[in-house]
Amino acid sequence: MSRGKINFGFDRFSGLYVWALFIIVFGALRPDQFLSMDNVHLIASQQAIAAMLGLAILMPLACGAFDLSIGANVNLAAVLVTILQVRDGVPMVPAILITVAVGALIGIINGFIIVKLHVSSFIATLGMASIITAAQTIVTNNLEPTPVLSTTWTGLTQNTIFGFQAIFLYLLVLAVILWWVLEHMPIGRYIYAVGSNTEAARLSGLRVGKYTWISLIVSGAITSLAGVAYASLSGPSLTFGQALLLPAYAAAFLGSTQLKPGRFNVWGTVIAVYVLATGVQGIQYITSVQWLNDVFNGCALILAVSFAVWRQRAKVERGTIEEDSGGDSPISHAPGLGDGKHPDGAPSVGGTAVGAIRHEPSPDAG
Amino acid sequence: MKAGDPTGSAALTVSDVSKSFAGRPVLSDVSLSVSSGEVHALVGENGCGKSTLIKVLSGYHEPDGGEVRVAGLPLSLGSAKSSYQLGCRFVHQDLGLIDESSVIDNILMNTGFPTRLGTIRTGAARRTVAEDLQRAGLSIKPDVEVGSLSPAEKTGVAVAKALRPDPDSEAKLLVLDEPTATLPEGEVTRLLEMIRTVTANGIGVIYVTHRLGEVFDVADNVTVLRNGYKVATEKVSALTRPELINLMIGHELEEISQEREAIHLTHGEPTLKVGGIAGGPIKDISFTVRAGEVVGIAGITGSGAESLLSTIFGGAPRAAGSVEVNGAQVRAERPDRAMAAGMAYMPPDRKTAGGMLELSARENLTIGSLGPFSSPFWLRQASEKREVKGWFKDLNVQPPTGAENQLGTFSGGNQQKVLFAKWLRLKPSVFLLDEPTQGVDIGAKALLHRQLLAAGEEGMAIVVSSTDMDELVALCERVIVIRDGLIVADLRREEVSLSSISRNALGTQAGGSV
């Protein structure tokens, strides 16, 4: 960035270039199917849930914490909102509110375990995921709930506006809100500060535990909203959730290489989801192989993180980052990035998978 | 027992080694030689060039000129591999051990385990480690966890690890880089015995230390460095302790700095009251700082001086005692409360505690208080940017238009300016600074000093902890010297000098004030 004035933004906008490439290539190969408005609408709504989950984990990641319970949480929410309406006769709006409250409660418990019991977020939310899955089995008796049949319910996400399903609109609204919170509200600044250097944030007078806790509650609540949307869009299922965990992380990490490289950000995440979706959709028009989605997401996650780490190392080697600051992977608010190696071989603690596992917000949470 | 005196071959010869960083010489034509079986102490104040010399030996730094020979063979300068192959071994202060692992695992970590068909041969591993321990004069069980050992035993394990026999390269020289800075008294004796065992095997030892008592206990010869020059190499037996201290401090008598003279000695009410605090190496420290006073904190590594300010502010745990700012008590370990009471604290290490290197300079500068330009729902970045721009101009931060760049991309001095502005803008009534100019170029240092003194004149109570004694002498009208967790001297005005600070910090009765 600092080297030349002429810069096509390959580093910050590489996702957009890849997106354009996908559209040109698949557009040329399958113009009738791929270049249709129907296809645009299809991709937009198909991936909205994945994008919502990508946004859900954004705040914890920015704060330096993993939330791995979102897969189980989104699943529970979809099942719960359905059962409440069908079995217990709860009207739609209260059912949604109860479900979101349960999601937030999961976030509260996650936060308690991480902040008060000093368990790493990785372990805490991984364990929580298992407990949530058990709770779901108790609620459902392991029988797939009957879907809600009312058109108000299905219309909630499936009604179209300008050709797009409402779910896509919700996604955009959610993204705008989250973007505002993270970029234009003081709390967003505090969250990035905590994720960037917990100790420096604490010594700047921030209540580190408080922000970690808040970010987990927010991710729990957004996740359950995504679950509600899923139930309305596709009907409940007992197992869809875990499959959405990895794509959410792939999107968030890939997103952190876009627009504001090195920083988890809302629009980068949204772009990442749709670049991946466009690629998958395009390939599916050419072959009909089922496993491509998984391969794509797996590769995207690994490539995204390798790319981010490589960028940072290159920066250190060029010396744009001061030598004595080089070891602490400067993408440290991307927990889990990097191999934790100091350029001169000494292991560093912060900003790595190790760092994330050791993530210990201060004991004095609010 | 002075085993080293008549020993024959030279384990190490350093001839006319020079090194400068960014045009600033840190080593100037330093020569020194260590015989096999000799313990050679290397002493000097912080910044004298000791660690640079060690890093030249280890191949980390490539010197600008000079020659290094290990057991007669020339070291290919700047190559860590060559350093190892010629037989140089290093034990650094942090020891590089894993507390959670056993002694066996720690010692065999680098060289590998004896195996049969890929399986570790536990018995053979234990035997070879037992031999290594014996060679270092240690009588501990190889199976115990390193974390359960005493500090001296840990150092011994690090020595045993460093001296592990390697068929390709025989150890000729062992460099101990301040192995005892954090050891309690009784433990030191044990370590010194181990060193004696090592030299009995014909290995030359370079012993870097702050503790002058050890020089007399263990070393045959001592080399004193000052400002990058070798001042002298002397036989320890021909030297007294005051003589050694004089060699270290030199005769450059305190030139009163112009910066000091600017201070008006009109102090107001007591602003900061520290009452009997303890925690970590700090045992019991009380003092009061008045408004407008600039107070220095001095002490060698391990004395408690390095964690005192953090403990006062709430960064490090406080086990006992009270901290009062403008009459209001501040709770332990609550930086937010300390800030609310009017305290500010600049940590020593920008990387781990001071800065958020991958956030922008602007975000770092304003994180302490977003209040002036925000409501809970809106952070007005235009007015934030305006304020940051003003600070960049006032403190001459380079590049002047770089407020949106990541803090990590700035030079050390400019990072420090940004972090300085972060605290100055909060207009604290007590400003604590830990090593405020570490790794900072001269221009930035002078600017930071001027700003500090100006803040003092406006009635801020300022406490500076620094291992750079020149800095304390230049800035402070009063210097509190810490040794072994206690205040040993509270020097005022004309008593403040390099030699009085050093004498008290090192703990000697030889002259100076007590």
Residue B69: closest CA among B87, B91, B50: B87
Residue B426: closest CA among B325, B341, B323, B324: B341
Q: Given an 8 Å threshold on Cβ–Cβ distance, is B315 in contact with A203? A: yes
Q: Given an 8 Å threshold on Cβ–Cβ distance, is A196 in contact with B358? A: yes
DSSP for residue B352: I
Average pLDDT over residues B386-415: 89
Alpha carbon distance A327, B350 (integer Å): 12
- How many CB atoms are closer than 10 A to CB B250? 15
Alpha carbon distance B318, B299 (integer Å): 19
Contacts with A330 (C-beta within 8 Å, 6 or more apart), sequence order: A262, A312, A315, A321, A351, B357, B358, B406, B408
Longest dimension (CA), chain B: 78
Question: Is B362 an 8 Å CB contact of chain A?
Answer: no
Residue B454 has pLDDT above 80, yes or no: yes
What tokens appear for B319 in the block? 């086990």
Residue B370: closest CA among A62, A215, A204: A204
Residue B55 and residue B17 in contact, taking contact as beta carbons nearer than 8 Å = no
Question: Is B140 an 8 Å CB contact of chain A?
Answer: no
Question: Is B358 an 8 Å CB contact of chain A?
Answer: yes
What tokens appear for A203 in the block? 């010594």
DSSP for residue A146: P
Q: Given an 8 Å threshold on Cβ–Cβ distance, is B358 in contact with A331? A: yes
Mean pLDDT of chain B: 84
pLDDT of residue B78: 82
CATH of domain A10-319+327-358: 1.10.3470
pLDDT of residue A12: 76
Q: Which chain A residue has the Cα nearest residue B377?
A: A185
Average pLDDT over residues A185-193: 95
Residue indicated by tokens 């955009």? A172
Question: Is A313 an 8 Å CB contact of chain B?
Answer: no
Task: Specify the amino acid at residue A218.
Answer: V
Task: Tell me which of B400 and B96 has the higher pLDDT.
Answer: B400
Residue A291 has pLDDT above 90, yes or no: no
Question: Is B445 an 8 Å CB contact of chain A?
Answer: no
Shortest distance between the Cα of A202 and any Cα of chain B, in A, equals 7
- How many CB atoms are closer than 10 A to CB B88? 28
Q: Given an 8 Å threshold on Cβ–Cβ distance, is A189 in contact with B376? A: no
Measure CA B71 to chain center. 31
Shortest distance between the Cα of A263 and any Cα of chain B, in A, equals 9
Residue B270 and residue B287 in contact, taking contact as beta carbons nearer than 8 Å = no
Average pLDDT over residues B220-239: 89
One DSSP character per residue, B376-402 reads: TTEE-HHHHHHHHHHHHHHTT-SSTT-
Tally A–B CB contacts below 8 A. Answer: 107
Residue B117 has pLDDT above 80, yes or no: no
Question: Is A332 an 8 Å CB contact of chain B?
Answer: yes
Residue A99 and residue A227 in contact, taking contact as beta carbons nearer than 8 Å = yes
For A94-150, the pLDDT digits (tens) are 999 999 999 999 999 999 999 999 999 999 999 999 999 999 999 999 888 989 888
Alpha carbon distance B514, B512 (integer Å): 7
Alpha carbon distance B233, B236 (integer Å): 9
Shortest distance between the Cα of B324 and any Cα of chain A, in A, equals 17
Contacts with B469 (C-beta within 8 Å, 6 or more apart), sequence order: B45, B46, B298, B498, B501, B502
Shortest distance between the Cα of B244 and any Cα of chain A, in A, equals 33
Average pLDDT over residues B22-43: 87
Question: Is B379 an 8 Å CB contact of chain A?
Answer: yes
Mean pLDDT of chain A: 82
Residue A322 has pLDDT above 70, yes or no: no
For A233-279, the pLDDT digits (tens) are 998 899 999 889 988 998 898 888 888 888 899 999 999 999 888 88
One DSSP character per residue, B271-295 reads: EEEEEEEEETTEEEEEEEEETT-EE
Question: Is A200 an 8 Å CB contact of chain B?
Answer: yes
Q: How confident is the model at residue A360 (pLDDT cuts 50, 70, 90)?
A: very low
Q: Given an 8 Å threshold on Cβ–Cβ distance, is B367 in contact with A350? A: no
Residue B172 and residue B70 in contact, taking contact as beta carbons nearer than 8 Å = yes
Give the 3-state DSSP-derived string for B75-119, with helices as H, strands as E and coil as C: CCCCCHHHHHHCCEEEECCCCCCCCCCEHHHHHHCCCCCCEECCE
- How many CB atoms are closer than 10 A to CB B251? 7
Collect all residues of chain B within an 8 Å Cβ-Cβ radius of residue A202.
Answer: 315, 335
pLDDT of residue A330: 32
Buried b (16+ CB within 10 A) or exposed e, A319-351: ebbbeebbbbbbbbbbbbbbebeeeeeeebebb
Alpha carbon distance A247, A299 (integer Å): 10
Q: Given an 8 Å threshold on Cβ–Cβ distance, is A364 in contact with B359? A: no
Question: Is A350 an 8 Å CB contact of chain B?
Answer: yes
pLDDT of residue B284: 94
Residue A315 has pLDDT above 90, yes or no: no
Shortest distance between the Cα of B60 and any Cα of chain A, in A, equals 9
Contacts with A197 (C-beta within 8 Å, 6 or more apart), sequence order: A332, A350, B352, B353, B355, B356, B357
Question: pLDDT over 70 for what percent of chain A?
Answer: 81
pLDDT of residue A2: 41
Collect all residues of chain B within an 8 Å Cβ-Cβ radius of residue A12.
Answer: none
Task: Specify the amino acid at residue B316.
Answer: A
Residue A365 has pLDDT above 70, yes or no: no
Nearest beta carbon to residue A196 from set B315, B359, B370: B359
Question: Is B55 an 8 Å CB contact of chain A?
Answer: no
Q: How would you classify the pairing of strands B65-70 and B10-21?
A: antiparallel
